[in-house]
């Protein structure tokens, strides 16, 4: 089955610097890759996603890149701010052929801390 590995598990960056979180997946059939941000005590919320027919996607200070050949994708946060401190999860999803439904596998999470 699909396996998603996420690195690093913790990351501390100076405010204003960039942060990069990387994930690899095992199943080449995966075609949807969302990123979630979870603040302390709250539910995970989608911040950006990318599909397998696109190599890069940006939304203001956040970008995601996808390398299908290498089966890895990354989250990039530029000009980090204190409110970026949270746990970030990557995920990989594939549409299951026998049911048209999908199963999503999450990475283990990265705790990002922004130093003032």
Restricted to residues 71-100, the positions that interact with another protein (CB under 8 A) are 89, 91, 93-96, 99-100
Q: Which is nearer to another protein, 54 or 95 (CB)?
A: 95
- What's the Cα-to-Cα distance from 36 to each of 3, 53, 97, rounded to whole Å? 17, 20, 25
Residues facing 115 on adjacent strands:
14
Binding flag, residue 48, another protein (CB under 8 A): no
Assign 82 to helix, strand or coil: helix
Q: Please identify which residue in 25, 35, 77, 109 interacts with another protein, judged by CB under 8 A.
A: 109
Binding flag, residue 106, another protein (CB under 8 A): yes
Binding site for another protein (CB under 8 A): 31-32, 34, 36, 42-46, 49, 89, 91, 93-96, 99-109
């Amino acid at each position: 089955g699909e396996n998603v590995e996420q690195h690093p598990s913790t990351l501390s960056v100076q405010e204003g610097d960039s942060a990069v979180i990387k994930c690899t997946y095992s199943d080449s059939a995966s075609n949807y890759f969302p990123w979630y941000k979870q603040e302390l005590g709250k539910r995970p919320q989608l911040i950006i996603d990318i599909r397998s027919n696109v190599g890069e996607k940006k939304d203001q200070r956040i970008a995601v890149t996808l390398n299908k050949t290498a089966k890895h994708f990354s989250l990039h946060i530029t000009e980090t701010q204190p409110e970026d401190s949270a746990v970030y999860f990557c995920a990989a999803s594939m549409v299951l052929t026998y049911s048209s439904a999908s199963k999503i596998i999450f990475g283990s999470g990265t705790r990002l801390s922004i130093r003032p």
